Structure 1
Amino acid sequence: MADHAHNLRARLHTAHQPGAVGVITRGTTGYNRLRRCDRWMAHHAGIRRLLRDAPEPLAIDLGYGASHTTTVEWARWLRRITPDVRVIGLEIDPERVLPPREGVHFELGGFELAGHRPHLVRAFNVLRQYDVSQVTSTWAMVCERLAPGGLYVEGTCDELGRRASWVTLDAHGPRSLTLAWDPHDVDTPSDVAERLPKILIHRNVPGENIHALLQRLDAAWERCAGWSPHGPRIRWRHTLDLLREEGLPFEASRRPIRDNLITVPWEIVDPGAAQPGTAGD
């Protein structure tokens, strides 16, 4: 069981910058830690269209932490979509704000986005250190500051980036949940549960939608055990085929990628929605 003792209530302000909204977090990061989300973004049709259609595309990495590493890596991935994308890293700790490097600018700021109107915002391992009651308010604060059609990707991953999950939001709220993992790092899909986004991690109990989804993934994975000799990637592809036949809605990947991954509509895991077959359907 993951240790969540650090998930204490954080006050949504900081004494260092009166206009900035947030709290200084531990800021741990590392090379390639966010690679699974980076790859997903680089091949996501909606994100590609959003950045290519924008006359001056702007992407913000919110709360990049004690190192600029993952922000610079993200910028490289986004430049594969459009080389003129402008990338800004925002940090609420003044001591972490750096001079520009590798085409990326760094500024002081938090959930208010330092007055910018970006087309794309990424925040990883930030809300994990907040209280769950603060998630929806910070989501709303970011989303109302997006450029028209903008997207906000908020998620969590482990220290080495082998297990990750993220929620994609727009101006209307959450749209989807993505689970992604190193095919050789988990025994069952539900192993990624320890890195669910803050809004869902405490909901992984019987009777909750996220728990039902993970159990469904595990059941399909087990039924595809015959493909194990071909490796976990091939087994997962057949698991997805089975889930599709069973009627689970999820986004089809534009191309095969090295990660085991699934993106489902938010209503499948929405904590406020009734489970299929329960009262209120």
Structure 2
Amino acid sequence: GTASVAVAGIFAALRITKNKLSDHRFVFQGAGEAAMGIAQLILMAMEKEGISREDAIKKIWMVDSKGLIVKGRSHLNHEKEMFAQDHPSVNTLEEVVQKVKPTAIIGVAAIAGAFTEKILKDMAAFNERPIVFALSNPTSKAECTAEQCYRFTEGRGIFASGSPFSKVTLPNGQTFFPGQGNNAYVFPGVALGVIACGVRHISDDIFLITAESIAAQVTEQNLAEGRLYPPLDSIREVSLKIAVKIVDWAYKHGLASWYPEPADKEAFVKRLVYSPDYDSFVIDDYRWPPAAMQTQDV
């Protein structure tokens, strides 16, 4: 879920940077499960654009507690070895950003303040629209605040967070409403789509489809306000569209269990959407009008 919602935010950001995913270089602060999940989904999306897996891996750099993950470094597990770069050792995130000049930095190590003023200013110097995702929870562990990102990038940063942040207004009057990459965007729609058609195997493709669907529902107005995700109050509509996409994909790839295949997949899924409205079990109570209860003279 974390990977899917993070990549959804990246897809939305591409509409601002106006280039392809494979044109970007990513630096991760953290190399645990969350980082690996996001990186693997980015690889899938880059391969879908047409570049080789080998070339895609070269665009993803990871920093853990011992510095940049590079080839020849000892005690790397299999997943870290996959993303080990052919590069001299670098000890700090600041140095990595200076040397790699990434277009996007993604924080998933729960190190508060990891995205320093210098890093954010460097990102703004290297890129017209730097992508800054501070995804660690809770807010006290965020790599930077929304206000810091916008202030140190002169309002050009494309920001998303794992924790909620209030709107930010800069001295020049620019106002931003930071997007929160919440798993709530992912799981209801995925569960609905999987259950609706009885998907036999939940592959990473489903989470990539989900990311694409979430990003497609972000409006130009949302982007102009700094939002990389649809408003949470539209979560039912977002989830429905995700589910329909999954059902369509499952039937096309022979992974659905329920047949015959529905002709109208949206109507098919809508019938399964939970409704919080219940019939009343209270006995109907009728009251006579007061005037009718009065004794009348004959």
Common fold, TM-score beyond 0.5?
Answer: no
Output the TM-score relative to the length of structure 1.
0.40
Structure with higher Rg: it is 2
Structure (1 or 2) with the greater helix fraction = 2
